[in-house]
Homo-oligomer: A and B are copies of this chain.
Amino acid sequence: MTNLSAILDDIATEMAVETERGAVATYIPELAKVSPDHFGIAVVTRDGHIHSAGDAAMPFSIQSVSKVFTLSMALERLGEKCWRRVGREPSGDPFNSIVQLEADNGIPRNPLINAGAIVISDILLADRTPSATIERILAFIQMAADDAAISIDNAVACSERDTGERNMALAHFIRASGNLDHPADRTLEVYFNQCAIAMSCVQLAKAGRMFAFTQQFDPDVLAPITPQHARQVNALMLTCGHYDGSGEFASEVGLPGKSGVGGGILAIVPGIASIAVWSPGLNAVGNSHLGALALERLAHRMGWSVFGTT
């Protein structure tokens, strides 16, 4: 796929000169320090080749992208029982998510909104210590990305803990509704740390292979998740992966994807490719502005869409 490498280079060149780059998230102090000039992209294809351009080797805070990995772990642990503690429907606007939590007795609408991801963290805790649980999450992602160098950025982790009043509120609400087995602060210790995992585009694209090629792992390695769970996570990414811009992303890019406020997006072309893109500036609904634009162009030029060929 020389073609693919050339297209990535073109896109990186185009992104470099874009003047409208979005705004870097400021609510987490450590994230606010990152320059909006960065742009990186990496694609892993079915044959295992890695194509990349720009700052594809530079680690960034994956933030909410971590939710698809913890969800995968919870699915392997509990299977369909997960859906008793968290729904799988889109949540509507952000405002709705709290109203809904109140109305639905603490069952979050889906595992990709904060409330749902907190419940998933609680499932993974399973009476372990928060630090043991965080170790397991990190190990799972390192295994999936085949890279033991992936780590947690402690500066971001602490920063999240200091500014996460809103997530504290959500956790206490869920606990008040009886849908949290562990105290709010223990569950949030897991959650805040998983959000602070730092990965490069190359590492993230490699970890995303579990959603793109469920049968492709080394026969010596247990595939991390079943094909059914991979499809379920892809479905959730497509319907709920971009906050209140999920519908627009589905419409314009046409691929399952999950974004984080660190500016990263993981996107999946089922059976064909796992893509990671990063640019720190966010659009009005909190997704990487250039990341989404780059994915739209890449999908268009490659004819990648789950909704029909171009």
Interface residue ranges, A against B (CB under 8 Å): 87-93, 95-96, 98-100, 102-103, 109-110, 165-166, 168-173, 175-176, 184, 211-212, 214, 227-228, 230-232, 234-236, 238-240, 244-248, 250-251, 254, 256, 270-271, 305-310
Decide if B175 touches A89 in the complex (CB within 8 Å): no
**Measured between alpha carbons, how far is A184 from B168 in the docked complex, in Å?**
10
Interface of A is mostly: helix
List 21 A-B pairs, Cβ < 8 Å. Answer: A89-B90, A89-B246, A90-B239, A95-B102, A165-B172, A165-B184, A166-B173, A169-B172, A211-B308, A230-B308, A231-B251, A231-B305, A231-B307, A231-B310, A232-B251, A234-B307, A234-B308, A235-B307, A236-B250, A236-B251, A238-B238
Contact A96 B100 (CB under 8 A): yes
Residues of B within 8 A of A96 (CB): 92-93, 96, 99-100
Q: A230 to B168, alpha carbons, bound, how many Å?
A: 36
Q: Which of A93, A171, A234, A307 has the most CB of B within 10 A?
A: A307
**Identity of the chain B residue whose Cβ is nearest the Cβ of A87 in the assembled complex:** B247
CB pair B88–A90 under 8 Å, yes or no, is no
Kindly report which residue of chain B lies nearest to residue A98, judged by CB atoms.
B102
